[in-house]
Amino acid sequence: MNYIWYALKHQEKEISMLIAITDGSLKSRKVSNYTNLGRKVGNMTSLFLRTYLNTDQSKRVYLGALYRQAKNLHIYITGVSEAHLDIASILLGSNYLADQLVTVRQLSSRLAKHTRWNVTYTVSKKVSKLLQTPKLLFNTGNQSFKKILHPSVRNEYDTCSLGTLRFTDKISGKVTKQILIPAQEHELVAVINAYNLLNQRSTKLGQQAPTPLLVYPHRVRAATAIVLPQYTKQYVYNSSYTPIMPYLIQPLYGDNLPSHEQLRWLTIQYAKAIHNYFLIGAVNQAAIKKDISYGDARIDLLNNVFSGRPRPYNELRNLARKMKPLNFVNQLCLNEIPLGLYKFLMTERWPQGAYYVPRYIDLPYLAEHKFKKFFFSPKSEILQIYGLDKLDPSTRSQIKI
């Protein structure tokens, strides 16, 4: 509350407030395995929205309404394992708007191609203004676009949206709209905007209001977007996209480039062990005695056309006899090294959990399969669409197009 009052009194200052909850998402003496980090974050956000003050006129003033008036205040609620995302975003002044516009255009194109609707995207007036002012759009010249996008008027859609998707049924001609809300996973602004829109739709007068679609920035791995507990009993989803339901979209970058970069670092660090594998068939003499097998699986390269087929083991063995370890591994392609050898080096030759490549080695202490599946890094870019029916992000309904 003090932060809100301070922000209202000092509107010339941009203020960010980060609340990091010890939610079980990082290992500790009390927590041996990863636990659900969506429950506490969702419940605390719900408490924030339900908290109110009594005025002299015996009227309730909710914290959410006061926060919306403080245009210069940005509140984040996160678990400790994901707090670094928000800290980096705040310190760097990250602007995800252009990224989110790309996501919206990809989504509208895919929906028009694979569903029964003709879909058109109309940008909001605020975003249209930004598109005409590149310096403001990309935060160059030490300017900020947040003041333009921050909602200050309740129920005025244009103040909090990227625009709308217009769905026209190809058979009946019926038109349905969805409003696009720019969001970060832990920032409260988008949560409040969606909450107000959905509350309005629950009234007779607001039934024709568009449903919200929260658009998050691209990530390499999914982060935990806040969902309020009251939604979990309110919405029931099937696997198909329909514009009358609220969704959140979390696009993921393909992890080929970062994972290959990490594997190359690993190759250089363990040059001697990899050199030994091609000399004697194992990383060392002890591994020979244990009869460790590394299998035949190989990683997929970014572009197999340019790299060609991996060379036979015997050809590489002859090269290993002539070359020093570092020179030898520098001329290897990543797909010439068994995936099992990489996994062995990451799990046996490095302190547990200190080195991992998420595509090939699970994140530390993820015990349950549902968590492993949620945090899995895809090979290529995908648009992940979820319902708002669960606090636990790994169990939310996943929507297909």
Same domain, 46 and 81: yes
Residue range 361-382: mean pLDDT, rounded: 69
Read off the pLDDT of residues 30-55 as tens digits, 9 standing for 90 and up.
Answer: 776 667 678 889 999 999 988 888 87
Q: Is the pLDDT of residue 155 over 50?
A: no
User: Which string of DSSP letters, residue by residue, matches 226-248?
Assistant: ---GGGTTT----SB--TTS-EE
Same domain, 55 and 135: no
Report the share of the chain in percent with pLDDT over 90.
40
The rounded distance, in Å, linking the Cα atoms of 282 and 397 is 45
Same domain, 153 and 168: yes
Name the domain boundary from 92, 123, 156.
92
Read off the pLDDT of residues 49-75 as tens digits, 9 standing for 90 and up.
Answer: 888 888 777 788 888 888 888 888 899
Domain of 49 in residue numbering reads as 2-92
Residue 72 is assigned to a structural domain of this protein: yes
Strands 211-215 and 117-123 come out as unpaired
- Residues contacting residue 115 through CB under 8 Å, at least 6 positions apart: 241, 401
Residue 338 is assigned to a structural domain of this protein: yes
Identify the pLDDT of residue 151: 41
Q: Is the pLDDT of residue 354 over 70?
A: no
| Amino acid present at 144 | S
The rounded distance, in Å, linking the Cα atoms of 341 and 323 is 20
Identify the pLDDT of residue 247: 97
Identify the pLDDT of residue 296: 87
User: Which string of DSSP letters, residue by residue, matches 305-370?
Assistant: HHH-SPPPHHHHHHHHHHS-HHHHHHT--GGGS-HHHHHHHHHHSS-TTTS--TTTSPPTT--SHH
Same domain, 12 and 111: no
The values of phi and psi at residue 182, to 5°, are -70, 135
Query: What predicted TM-score, i.e. pTM, was given to this entire model?
Result: 0.80
Same domain, 15 and 87: yes
Read off the pLDDT of residues 75-133 as tens digits, 9 standing for 90 and up.
Answer: 999 988 889 999 998 888 888 888 999 999 999 999 999 999 999 999 988 888 888 87
Longest dimension (CA), the chain: 88
Report the share of the chain in percent with pLDDT over 70.
83
Q: Which two tokens stand for residue 56?
A: 């002299």
Q: How confident is the model at residue 134 (pLDDT cuts 50, 70, 90)?
A: confident
Name the domain boundary from 37, 70, 92.
92
